[in-house]
Amino acid sequence: MSDVESAKASAAQRAVRENFQPSHKNIGIGSGSTIVHVVQALKAHLSSLQPPIDPSTIRFVPTGYQSRQVLIQAGLTPLTFDSLPAGTLMDVCFDGADEVDSDLNCIKGGGACLHQEKLVATHARRFVCVADYRKLQARLLSSWPSVPIEVEPLAVGAVLQQLAHELGSTGPRIRQLGSEKVSPLKTDQDNFIVDAPFPTLLLPQDLTAGMAPDPRKGVWEVQALAREIKQIEGVLSVGIFSGENGDEALARGSRMGGQKPVVVYFGMQDGSVE
């Protein structure tokens, strides 16, 4: 196992150990390579408890085809999001991220599952993020190059124009399928993914310190950019996970969780977890 995969496995094991409770009955399962380690850690943890927990008593809600297959291969039973009883909040959601900033805002969507990932995260009491050391950055778009956006195909031309001319994105483009890039990638919802580059995103404390957004040059505060993109007609979901976390949303009296994780576990290169 490579250093990166070992880091993911260590982070997944600790995240599951510290956030799974025997009373949990509904668990969201995100997408991406880190989730393979999360599912393995969950299965091992369930069997290690005294008494062991029968996995069939838990409903696992995947965020896409890939995570559904990971669950099936692990012998766990997936349940589609729309099959959850009305009003149900999942106890916890485990998912990865493409980049995480110092305020725990995330960029997600590198695997083109951002819409279902946001659905599951915001319908869980707690979103727990698992990542490796490469994903930790002071600000979003420091390393990851662009904001993934799920767009209805008929609207994609208009969305590209608005991103470039009104929000200052430099060269937004439709994500293409495979190395040959001969056709647009389609999501599980049969939509396109637009990848929109922007300069490094500001945090609220940057504004307090006197740094000013400049939309003409694409310089935005993280939550403001997420709101502006979401308002474009034809946009289904934006790959910026920001704002309240689940604990904050529920404390406010919301019936939903938050987009932002309550905690992020970073597997480090030296084998530790932060």
Q: Which residues are catalytic?
A: 117
First-last CA distance in the chain: 20
Calpha distance 142→49 (Å, rounded): 41
Angstrom distance (rounded) from CA 30 to CA 86: 21
Rounded Cα–Cα distance for residues 133 and 102 (Å): 13
Secondary structure in 3-state letters for 18-45: HHCCCCCCEEEECCCHHHHHHHHHHHHH
The partner residues of 260 in beta bridges, in order of sequence, read: 245
Helices and strands in the chain, H and E counts: 8, 12
The continuous run of DSSP H or E covering 165 comes out as helix 156-165
3-state secondary structure of 107: strand
